[in-house]
């Protein structure tokens, strides 16, 4: 069965910059003789996605020309066309090392443990204007928010661009079985004979309102007559220090999927009876290893680009997608800004957004529903603040099941014992 969707950038095949198994020993020996550049733990995931095609059509970190075009025009040029791209990606280097680098040379890329992970054929070295970068990516001149601090807290002042070759990515011992390459996900979707596949991006343990966005996305496409798969596709790359860690989150997702609890009580039973297959048969769990930028609408577009490369035809874009507020808790973007961003794209993007609004559990309904449908009736949503929820976990108490399922809550309670 053919791929459901082409890779981003007008390519007929995914970019592949991964060193083949038969060449690893020779490649590593040669790389050991080269000058070294350290890639941070956060940027390693971007390097591996350049290698396996998750960031197609990129073949390495961006040169200044490409980087600046993304900041100014929100596109990259590929195969003679303009393609949507909203956050530029290049690798930082400190000023002292930047002075020693020569365009045209090959550099060994090493991780924070000084282990060789790849090589870079250097095409550009250029200053990193962090204020211009933050102002463009976050669409605000203010710098008092988590996204801006990613660049501002980095002491490195220059960027490098070029083409990479990369050793295969090691598997995480806790959840590596659930992190697949774009080639593997495309083969899986073909084997399942899906006609559409919708991704649900998250960096959080799921409330029922979060889950409902996935339910809505899968059911919309199913009602349209497509044999659809829905993938709980959590991001497991670098996140903020106060986000729940990836190992714990993956345990919560496994608990939901393994117990067929996700969406339970909130699905359209009549629809699934008509389809003749249970909702749970259509839901998969696959992790995506790439870092967060906390860039709201522009990151929502990047989340779509990643997923197109992995073979998804659709992505759920929810409320406050990739959102993080200013330090004073005021909003940088309104709750549905990411929805509008997909109507304003400057370049081609094949994957389709499935726009889902605010959702909540309503006692009157006995399930989760969309706020836009039920709030006008005067119904009051069941809710709890994040701080109250964390206190319950620390005390070993399960929250209202209308807010979070016990399968998820028990994992979080266990992780917070003694904290």
Pairing of strands 381-382, 158-166: unpaired
- pLDDT one-digit tens code per residue, 83-119: 999 999 999 999 999 999 999 999 999 999 999 999 9
pLDDT, mean over the chain: 95
The C-alpha atoms of residue 135 and residue 246 are separated, in whole angstroms, by 29
**Predicted local confidence at residue 419, as pLDDT:** 59
Q: Domain 176-288+351-418 is in which class?
A: alpha beta
Domain ranges of the chain: 23-166, 176-288+351-418
The C-alpha atoms of residue 373 and residue 370 are separated, in whole angstroms, by 6
Please say whether the structural domain 23-166 has been given the CATH code 3.10.400.10: yes
- pLDDT one-digit tens code per residue, 33-81: 999 999 999 999 999 999 999 999 999 999 999 999 999 999 999 999 9
* Residue 334 confidence class, pLDDT cut points 50, 70, 90: very high
On the question of pLDDT at 1 being above 60, the answer is no
* Residue 238 confidence class, pLDDT cut points 50, 70, 90: confident
Q: Is the pTM of this model over 0.85?
A: yes
Q: Average of pLDDT values for 316-320?
A: 92
**Predicted local confidence at residue 416, as pLDDT:** 86
* Residue 31 confidence class, pLDDT cut points 50, 70, 90: very high
Number of residues that make up the chain: 419
Greatest mean pLDDT among 202-211, 280-289, 385-394: 280-289
**Predicted local confidence at residue 162, as pLDDT:** 98
CA 73-120-22 angle, to 5 degrees, is 125
Residue that is written with structure tokens 């659709």 in the block = 314
When mean pLDDT is compared across 17-26, 235-244, 371-380, 385-394, the lowest value belongs to: 235-244
Q: Is 320 within 8 Å of 278 (Cβ atoms)?
A: no
């Amino acid at each position: 069965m053919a791929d459901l969707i082409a890779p981003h950038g007008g390519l007929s095949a995914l970019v592949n910059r991964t060193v083949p198994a038969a060449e690893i020993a020779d490649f590593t020996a040669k790389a050991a003789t080269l000058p070294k550049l350290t890639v941070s733990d956060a940027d390693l995931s971007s390097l591996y996605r350049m290698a396996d095609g998750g960031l197609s059509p990129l073949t390495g970190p961006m040169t200044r020309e490409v980087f600046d075009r993304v900041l100014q025009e929100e596109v990259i040029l590929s195969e003679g066309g303009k393609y949507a791209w909203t956050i530029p990606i290049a690798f930082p280097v400190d000023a002292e090392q930047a002075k020693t680098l020569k365009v045209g040379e090959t550099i060994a890329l090493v991780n924070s443990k000084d282990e060789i992970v790849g090589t870079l054929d250097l095409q550009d070295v250029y200053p990193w204007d962090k204020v211009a970068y933050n102002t463009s990516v976050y669409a605000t001149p203010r710098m008092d928010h988590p996204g801006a601090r990613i660049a501002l807290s980095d002491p490195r002042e220059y960027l490098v661009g070029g083409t990479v070759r990369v050793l295969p990515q090691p598997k995480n011992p806790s959840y590596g079985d659930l992190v697949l390459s774009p080639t593997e996900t495309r083969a899986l979707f073909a084997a399942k004979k899906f006609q559409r596949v919708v991704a649900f991006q998250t960096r959080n343990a799921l409330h029922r309102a979060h889950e409902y966005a996935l339910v809505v996305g899968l059911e919309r496409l199913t009602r349209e007559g497509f044999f659809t798969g829905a993938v709980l596709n959590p991001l497991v790359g670098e996140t903020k220090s106060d986000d729940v860690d990836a190992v714990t989150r993956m345990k919560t997702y496994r608990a939901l999927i393994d117990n067929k609890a996700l969406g339970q009580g909130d699905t359209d039973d009549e629809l699934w009876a008509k389809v003749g297959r249970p909702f749970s048969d259509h839901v998969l769990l696959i992790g995506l290893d790439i870092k967060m930028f906390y860039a709201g609408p522009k990151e929502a577009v990047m989340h779509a680009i990643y997923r197109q490369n992995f073979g998804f035809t659709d992505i759920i874009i929810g409320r406050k997608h990739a959102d993080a507020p200013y330090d004073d808790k005021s909003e940088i973007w309104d709750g549905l800004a990411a929805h509008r961003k997909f109507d304003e794209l400057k370049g081609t993007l094949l994957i389709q957004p499935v726009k889902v609004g605010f959702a909540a559990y309503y006692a009157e309904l006995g399930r989760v529903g969309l706020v836009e449908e039920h709030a006008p009736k005067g119904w009051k949503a069941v809710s709890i603040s994040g701080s109250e929820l964390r206190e319950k976990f620390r005390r070993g108490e399960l929250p209202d099941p209308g807010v979070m399922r016990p399968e998820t809550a028990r994992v979080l309670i266990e992780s917070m014992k003694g904290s």
